[in-house]
Amino acid sequence: MQLILASGSPRRKELLGLFHIPFAVRVADIDETIDPSRPPYEEVARVSRLKAEAIPRRDTDVVIAADTIVVCDGRILGKPADEADAFRMLRLLSGKDHQVMTGLTVLRGSAARVCTEVTDIHFRELSDGEIAAYIRTGEPMDKAGSYGIQSGGALFAERINGDYFNVVGLPVCRLGQILKDMAPELMEETK
């Protein structure tokens, strides 16, 4: 049996490392386009499942895949296309509540567990200067919603309700429960 993370994200690798279980990384090459006509909650789960299913595996292997989006005022915010897009997203989030949704899929043989973890966040009011300075760091460019809560984006979040690690990119608590059910022998190794 092999544990496989279907993601090249350094943040997801770090979070999966919290389990102290050896794992391989294989990046799924799929179309991650979210259908805006469907509920974001369902779409992010669908994309995570596509990622997991794209990974070659044996029946005994356990594949973990995740996809994260930010939703504000009914709009889905993925990774920014450029600095202007990052500015637009951060201006939208300023002074508002939003949700970070991570679709999570765990596959083993023919068994699949697919879910979406949601964390609510409130940003304080941001000035245009603060947004521009943050964008100059380059940090927003590879992150859903144009911010990283684990680094400079932490300065913007007044309140978080839910799993902090979900905002980073992997709902660790939920994943642990799923692994305990689907691959208890892996979880025994963490004791």
Integer Cα distance of 23 and 148 in angstroms: 24
Using pLDDT thresholds of 50, 70 and 90, give the confidence band for residue 32.
confident
Task: Please confirm, yes or no, whether 59 is among the known catalytic residues.
Answer: no
Q: Which of 35, 59, 61, 67 is catalytic?
A: 67
Q: Under 8 Å CB-to-CB from 12, ≥6 apart: which residues?
A: 5, 66, 169, 170
Using pLDDT thresholds of 50, 70 and 90, give the confidence band for residue 191.
low
Integer Cα distance of 25 and 12 in angstroms: 10
pLDDT, tens digit, 9 for 90 and up, residues 98-145: 999 999 999 999 999 999 999 999 999 999 999 999 999 999 998 989
Tokens for 34, please give them.
């979210």
Look at residue 180 in the predicted model and tell me its pLDDT.
95
Look at residue 29 in the predicted model and tell me its pLDDT.
87
Integer angstrom CA distances of residue 57 from 7, 60, 108, 181, 186 = 15, 8, 9, 19, 17
Integer Cα distance of 34 and 158 in angstroms: 28
Stated pTM of the model: 0.91
Per-domain boundaries in the chain: 3-188
Closest alpha carbon to 174 in 119, 93, 111, 109: 119
Beta bridge partners of 119: 100
Look at residue 36 in the predicted model and tell me its pLDDT.
86
pLDDT at 48 over 80: yes
Integer Cα distance of 67 and 138 in angstroms: 21
Averaged confidence pLDDT in the chain = 94
CATH number of the structural domain 3-188? 3.90.950.10
Average the pLDDT over 78-89 and give the result: 95
Integer Cα distance of 176 and 94 in angstroms: 33
Cβ neighbours around 168 below 10 Å, total: 23
